[in-house]
Chains A and B, each alone.
Chain A
Amino acid sequence: MKQFNSLQNTASQHEKSAHSEASSRRRRNISAALRYSLLAVFGLIMVYPLIWLVGASFKSNSEIFSSPWFWPQEPTSQGYVDGWKTSTPYTFGHFFLNSMKIAIPKVIGTAISSTLVAYGFARFDFPGKKILFAVLIATLLLPDVVTRIPQYLLFRELGWLDTYLPLFVPQWFAWEAFFVFMLVQFLRAIPREMEEASRVDGANSLQTLIFIVVPILTPALVSVCLFQFMWTMNDFLGPLIYISTVENYPISLALKLSIDATEAFNWNQILAMTVLALTPSLVVFFLAQKSFIEGISTGGVKG
């Protein structure tokens, strides 16, 4: 009798555990389903303005105002054609080139100077290093609102107003501490033995930097360049302060101009130009998505 009961007990225990396994799996599935739907809905709301933007740029002016749906009923590229011409004597392409004239020297300068400075901090001991590094970290948090006006006056003295020089020269001096900091963190994670082997092989510190460290540092450098490129393309206040002639406007200022132009906005043109203005950043971002998010996580969390 006892044996039979215990068999029965085991059987019902099995049932129960199978039950609870199934119910916890169900709970997990429900939880996952909830998460997915929350993310999907929220994500859609977040991204819709951008989706809508792209769609609207292909609509005619009147169609934009007719419905919130993003897909154009009658797709047209008229917005792009008109927007490209802009209401100035210059085409959008001209302004894009101007932006590149700022971005390229800025990115190159940032990459070179940040690498040199990060190498100095990460691999050498020198008098005053601790203080200087503390200052570097402090400037990460420091608002630059106080320095803008005197910088303007300085560049004015140098006669650099209405040129691109104020916009990229500071970067040749590793002026953006964020990138130096990011590279220092990366360097700290790289074992020194390869550099030691290089010194033993007869390389001096600069040769070691160029031939050994930089190739290993490449993923981080790519992140640095991409970040800086994107920030530059989107930079508005800098050009606003220093560039006064329309001919020299980068796309950020050209875009502002297009809104100022007339009261009755030709929104399809403006939106088309907006899409064009955002495209380089978006392209660059998607091309290097992985190294991007790695870069920001390493630089941020390990700080």
Chain B
Amino acid sequence: MARLSLKSVEKVYGNKFKAVHGINLEVEEGEFMVLVGPSGCAKSTTLRMIAGLETVTGGEIHIGDQVVNDLVPGKRGIAMVFQNYALYPHMKVHNNLSFGLKLRREPRDKIASATQEVSGILEIEELLDRLPKQLSGGQAQRVALGRALIKQPEVFLFDEPLSNLDAKLRASMRVRITDLHKRLREEGRPATVVYVTHDQVEAMTMGDRICVMKDGHIMQVADPVTLYERPANSFVAGFIGMPEMNLAEAVLTLGNTPELTIAGQTIEVASELAERLSGSEGTVTLGIRPQHLTVEPENAAGAFSGEITNIEFMGHEVNLHVDVGDNPFVAVVQSDRIDRQLRRGDRVALRPVGSKIHVFDAMSGENISLNYSNN
């Protein structure tokens, strides 16, 4: 186990395209760090640079106390689990597992005991004599996991390992991976993990900390709760959380009564919030999570009125889609708290919970309603 540091790491391709823009990231020893973001955000590229499968065109990558930029992947102390498993098709499972050890010329008994141990942990003992093509998706992924585990690397790298599995398998593999991480920590050999996924649910449930990326930039690095409650910008706010946070253009006026106006409708803003927003008058982006809206009758005070465009009955909850002027909003309400007679076209009002309102700078997306120095 070792620390991983990325210092001003950059990736520029031959055709001058800059995929990764000078990012800085510290992953603590034994930490489970998730890189998440939409496709094209360069999370895989970053992972592959850590692995050594892509060359680093700027900055430094440290594993432990070594700068690994010029080291081949095999000498960096890393192991990787690929999206497509990448098992060696012509080798039996046990040879797939031990290939790396054999290259290091480990003694045969050590290889045998390591193979035993790993296959026990991952419950693949009966599969040892099979060829990869005889394995199911889940089995293959466990073998890939085993191949990484057996090397006892400094850093584990995962490149969207669950994307090729069906939903049910994905859920059980998620648990298996996090259990493994916990178990290794308890046994005194904590594993440093960098895990890439595009699925924010995976990110939120697995990561100690999450690094949200967009277009080769890091948008925020924080633990799941912080990311959810205190997103640093509108991108992170919109990316984390299901359904997405409602983001709408609004006008902020400060003065005797600070107010936010959407589609001609105005609500008051709490004074603590107004304090933090001083100097930001004008057009802003309002953010409020669907779960933080209550449904009121039309024209209720402190609420925005609009027309219902869709009602989705989710069982325990109802997703209510309301257009406030041109702005689409979604409110998530418990189904026993909502009027069952509501239909599309009806008009209602949505009241935001004052303390949960986020205000983002309209240009930069920065969250100006949070004050980090005040915790």
Contacts and interface: CB of A to CB of B under 8 A. Distances in A.
Do chains A and B make direct contact within the complex (CB under 8 angstroms)?
Answer: yes
Given A197-B80, A197-B147, A202 B75 contact: yes
17 contacts: A191-B84, A193-B82, A196-B53, A196-B73, A197-B82, A199-B74, A200-B79, A201-B99, A201-B100, A201-B103, A201-B151, A203-B99, A203-B103, A207-B103, A215-B90, A216-B89, A216-B90
A204 B80 contact: no
A30 interface: no
A131 to B, nearest CB: 16
A184 to B, nearest CB: 20
A200 B151 CA distance: 10
A254 to B, nearest CB: 42
Contacts of B86: 191, 193-194, 196-197
Given A196-B53, A216-B89, 8 more contacts: A193-B86, A194-B86, A194-B88, A197-B82, A199-B73, A201-B74, A202-B75, A211-B99
A202 B100 contact: yes
Interface in B47-92: 51-53, 72-75, 78-80, 82, 84, 86-90
Interface string A186-213: 0000010110111111111001000110
Contact of B88 (A198, A200, A207): A198
Which of A194, A207, A212 is most buried by chain B, counting CB atoms within 10 A of its CB?
A: A194
Nearest to B51: A200
A199 B72 contact: yes
Contacts of B147: 197, 201
A194 B89 CA distance: 9
Nearest to B159: A193
Given A203-B74, A204-B74, A215-B90, A198 B84 contact: no
Q: Which 5 residue pairs are nearest across A and B when measured between Cβ atoms?
A: A202-B74, A201-B100, A193-B86, A215-B90, A197-B86
Interface residues of B, number: 23
Contacts of B16: none
A82 B74 CA distance: 64
B168 interface: no
B316 interface: no
B110 interface: no
Nearest to B85: A193
A77 B350 CA distance: 101
Contacts of B51: 196, 200
B317 to A, nearest CB: 41
B104 interface: yes
Interface in A74-112: none
Nearest to B14: A125
Nearest to B86: A193
A133 B293 CA distance: 63
A199 B89 CA distance: 16
B195 to A, nearest CB: 16
Nearest to B48: A196
